[in-house]
């Protein structure tokens, strides 16, 4: 599976890609732009609507999940709804979405990762569209490895709120939570899983 993690649709190159991950706070036009240039790709991001951050997992022009951020970050409201299931299966691939700081909501994170892990799909992915400061995921591997076991984690972090030097860099992990691709600045990153 070919993955591109970009901050805007214009950063996509014309090469085929299977999964495009955009950050939290991206506008619908960016998601539509990514879909126009790569209509067969699965596109993940999070848009702000009516003060809520809504997860998007677009495939073949249809949002395949119904998920609004659980927690409030002071900029967007939280729903407190931990019974959402933002997981999508496509052939031999299972993709889950968790927006930004919801990775800190233990019950919700556990529910999503358990759903992904229990899938019969060979490739298991958790996408995290985010707008995080540099204190998030600061190490070369993710804390609490049991949370991530068997799942590739892809964090696409926005750069609108946090100054470049103080933001979490976008990254892709292996199935043990070890980062295998990490941004240097704000450039697009690509991975093959």
Domain residue extents for the chain: 2-192
> For residue 117, is pLDDT > 90?
yes
Q: pLDDT confidence of 55, banded at 50, 70, 90?
A: very high
CATH number of the 2-192 domain: 3.60.110.10
Give the pLDDT mean for 22-27.
Answer: 95
Question: Could you give the CA distance from residue 98 to residue 47 in angstroms, rounded to a whole number?
Answer: 13
Helical segments of the chain, H only: 28-37, 106-118
Give the pLDDT mean for 120-143.
Answer: 90
CA distance to 40, 115, 125, 180, per residue, from 85 (Å): 23, 8, 14, 27
* 58, 47 contact by CB (below 8 A): no
Overall size of the chain counted in residues: 193
Q: pLDDT confidence of 41, banded at 50, 70, 90?
A: very high
> For residue 141, is pLDDT > 90?
no
Please give the angle made by the CA atoms of 27, 84 and 127, to the nearest 5 degrees: 50
The pTM score is 0.94
Q: How far is C-alpha 186 from the geometric centre of its chain's CA atoms?
A: 16
């Amino acid at each position: 599976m070919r993955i591109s993690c970009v901050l805007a649709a214009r950063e996509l190159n014309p090469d085929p890609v299977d999964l495009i991950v955009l950050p939290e706070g991206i506008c619908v036009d960016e998601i539509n732009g990514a879909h126009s240039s790569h209509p067969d790709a699965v596109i993940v991001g999070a848009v702000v609507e009516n003060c809520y951050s809504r997860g998007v997992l677009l495939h073949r022009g249809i949002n395949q999940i119904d998920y609004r951020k659980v927690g409030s970050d002071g900029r967007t409201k939280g729903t407190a709804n931990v019974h959402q299931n933002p997981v999508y299966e496509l052939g031999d691939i299972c993709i889950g979405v968790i927006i930004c700081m919801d990775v800190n909501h233990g019950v919700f994170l556990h529910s999503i990762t358990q759903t992904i892990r229990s899938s019969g799909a060979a490739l298991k992915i958790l996408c995290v569209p985010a707008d995080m400061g540099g204190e998030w995921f600061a190490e070369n591997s993710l804390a609490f490895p049991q949370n991530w076991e068997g799942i590739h984690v892809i964090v696409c972090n926005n750069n609108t709120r946090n100054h470049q030097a103080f933001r979490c860099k976008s990254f892709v992990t292996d199935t043990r939570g070890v980062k295998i691709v990490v941004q240097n600045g704000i450039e697009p990153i690509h991975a093959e899983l």
